[in-house]
Structure 1
Amino acid sequence: MKSMATRRQHLKVLRSASLAEASQRAYASDIRHYRMHQGRLPATPTQVALYIAQWSPVHAFATLTRRMAALDRWHRSQGIASPVKSIIVQEAIRGVRRIYGGPQRQVRAITAKDLSQLVKAAKRPSTFRKNDNQASSSTRILRDSALLLLGFSAALRRSELVALQISDLKVDKRGMTVHIRRSKTDPYGRGQSIQIPWGTRVALCPIRSVQAWIEHADLSSGLIFRSVDRYGNVGTAGLSPQSVALIVKRLAALAWGEKAAAEFSGHSLRAGFCTDAVQRGMSIFAISQMTRHRSVESLGRYVRAEP
């Protein structure tokens, strides 16, 4: 029989696992923000409502909604009645929706044509950081090219892309099978697999690009996409989802300028696949098999109009 202390510790692990890691990080950040700007926890309904009034002109409605969810969860996890459910807070939220709750910002999609320009940008000497040597630059070129091409061709979310391991990829004459261990639509880790065909253009083939990166980095197991230091050494730690966004923005700035780069994010690769697929006449069923969207409505949010 396990001791009470052991059972309590295991219960803590189970409760923590009930939320995806990304959600845990977001909620923790939201609670920190509330504490910095409003103060005490537990909070009263009036304190929460005043917090909403303070930040509603600054933050997107989606951000405030998530912060309310974080506060609600914090109080309920402590066995305390949630102030978020109070009338004053609910009325404040509805007021924010009516006054500020416009359409959610959509990042620009990276289509196949855009992807070609980004890969070219990755290979320019101007992409090298000031203190990098040639080895670091060459290594980063291979990593960033593979990340862009695989992220686009497999319509991967940022978190899925950086979580991929060597053992998740299987290559044969038909192409590459990518096994996604866990995702937003598969929170319990049952696993999903998708098939990527060989590219018709060698320079833009995701399979050849990933193979070149893995061979150059001398990877035999573990995470595929990793940090690269100024001397060209490949680290053991994987990239973060935010790293994907930073890579995309950096290359977009080189390809189209700083102003245009602000329109892109890590989501641009997945949106680009969806947009490109629709423009090529690919069926919604075939697209959703790749993207693993649960509904046509959610898939539609990733399809952009012609730029």
Structure 2
Amino acid sequence: MHSLETRQPAISATMRGILATHGKPARPAAALTSAEVKRLLASCGTDVAGVRDRALLLVGFAGALRRSELVGIDREHLRFTSEGMTVLIPRAKRDQEGEGASIGIPRGLNPLSCPVRAVEAWLKRSRIEWGRCSGA
């Protein structure tokens, strides 16, 4: 049996190459707690940008969406019903085939923390009828 000497230049170079090619495993980000979301919502203003931020925070939290998924949402991706809202995520990290995913977000009991009401208020206030929703 031979021992493996990992400090050998050839082995070190190979390991560096593997790391450069494949990188380190991603460390999952910690999810926000409801207390943190409440603090973030309290910091949102009442201007159009603040109403937008509130809607994005609530939809992101309710749908467990990544930033990249939130900024990819267009007005055409939103469907409203009496029960809530359906959001089409055109391309998601978990969607390797690129087919998109549709997620449902129910109306909340509390009007102040309801993601659907927040999006409706923002769309009405900003007069967005089509196109990109992530801008002010």
User: TM-score by structure 1 length?
Assistant: 0.36
Matched, 1:170 2:79: yes
Structure 1 residues 285-300: aligned runs within 5 Å: none
Amino acid at match of 2:98: G
Matched, 1:89 2:13: yes
Task: Give the corresponding residue for 2:124.
Answer: 215
Task: Give the corresponding residue for 2:31.
Answer: 109
Runs of at least 4 residues off by over 6 Å: none
Task: Give the corresponding residue for 1:182.
Answer: 91
Q: Kindly provide the CA deviation profile for residues 264-298 of structure 1, in whole angstroms up to 9, marking residues without a partner as x.
A: xxxxxxxxxxxxxxxxxxxxxxxxxxxxxxxxxxx
**Matched position secondary structure for 1:196:** strand
Structure 1: which 5+ runs fail to align?
1-85, 96-100, 124-136, 229-307
Bigger relative contact order, structure 1 or 2 (CA pairs below 8 A, ≥6 apart)? 2
Question: Which one of 87, 98, 102 corresponds to residue 193 of structure 1?
Answer: 102
Matched, 1:122 2:11: no
Whole-Å Cα distance in 2 between the matches of residues 183 and 104 of structure 1? Answer: 16
Identity %: 37
Alignment RMSD: 2.5
Shift of 1:107: 4.3
Shift of 1:89: 2.3
Whole-Å Cα distance in 1 between the matches of residues 29 and 91 of structure 2? Answer: 24
Whole-Å Cα distance in 1 between the matches of residues 126 and 31 of structure 2? Answer: 29
Shift of 1:211: 0.9
Shift of 1:189: 2.4
Task: Tell me which protein shows more helix as a share of its residues.
Answer: 1
Structure 2: which 5+ runs fail to align?
1-9
Q: Tell me the matched-pair count.
A: 123
Shift of 1:92: 3.7
Whole-Å Cα distance in 1 between the matches of residues 118 and 80 of structure 2? Answer: 13
Question: Which one of 181, 197, 205 corresponds to residue 114 of structure 2?
Answer: 205
Matched, 1:158 2:59: no
Shift of 1:118: 1.0
Amino acid at match of 1:201: N
Distance 1:116 1:91, change over 3 A: closer
